[in-house]
Amino acid sequence: MDIAETSQTLREMMRNAPRPCVLVPTMGSLHLGHVALIQRARQAAGPSGTVIVSIFVNPIQFDRPADLLAYPRPLAADLAQCEAAGVDLVFTPTAESMYFPNRSVTVTESSLSLGLCGATRPGHFDGVCTVVLKLFLLTGCEAAVFGEKDFQQLAIIHRMVRDLDVPVEIIASPTVREPDGLALSSRNVRLSPEQRADAPRLQAALLAGAKQATAGQVLQVARQLIEASPLTRIDYLTLVDAVTLQETENLDRPAILATAVFYGEVRLIDHVKLGKR
C-alpha cells in the first residue's frame, strides 16, 4: 500500500471511529510499560472511545544504522498484546507507506533537543517530531499518551504541540520498572545476562546522587556508582532544569538528574526528579 492509500484508508477508518480517539505511538517490542500506556489511553478514551496503537520502527529517528537493524520487531506478539489489552485499532505502516523517497520537510525543535540525548544523537528528535506529527494528522486523535521514562521526548512533544497549535492533548504516563528498579525498555532484551544483572545500578546511582546536598555532589556520587561497574560506559550524566532542560546547579527548583549509559552496544536511559517542587 502506497502513501496515498495508507493515508486515505486510515483516515476513513478514523472518521467512523467512536470518539474520543486516544493514540499510543510505539515502535513495537511491547512490554508492560506499553501496556500501562494503553491502560492510560483507555482511561482517557472511556469504554466507548477508540484506543489506537501505532507500531512503527521509525527509521528517521535512528542515528546509528546498526541500532535500527538490531531493533526487535516481534509483530505477532505485539498484536497479541494489543488484543489482550483491549486496543481497538493497531496501525502498522511500513517506511515506504510513511515517507516519500524524496521527502524534504522535517519538523525540528531547536531548544529542548540540544542537550541530553539530542546532543549525542543528531537528528533523533527531528525524526521523532516528524513521525509523531504525521501520526497525529493521520489518526485525527484528540489525545496521545507518552511515557515519562523518555522525559526529554515528552517535553519536546509538549513544546511541538504548543508551538504549532496542534489540537492534541498530551497525556504523561509514569515510568514502569522491573522489581529490581530497571526501567522497562524494549532494549532490555538485548542485554546479556551479566549486563541485565548489573543494569539496575543506573536507578540506584541516580537515587543515591539525588540525596546529596549540592549539584556537584549529586553528579559525583551518581558517576562513581555507575562507573564502579566495568560493564558501563556513560554517554551522559547531567543535572538539568525540569522546564528548560538546560544544565543547572540550582536545586531550589525542579530538576532532573538524567543519564544515558551503554552496556556494550545497548544504550539505556534513566532519570530521577529532584529539587523543590
Which of the residues are catalytic? 34
Q: How far apart are CA 38 and CA 61, in angstroms?
A: 23
Q: Residue 254: how many CA atoms within 13 Å on its side-chain side?
A: 8
Strand order in the sheet with 169-173: 89-91, 50-55, 21-26, 143-147, 169-173
CA-to-CA distance for 117 and 99, rounded, in angstroms? 24
Phi/psi for 99 (5° steps) reads -130, 130
Q: Which of 179, 237, 167 is nearest to 208 (CA)?
A: 237
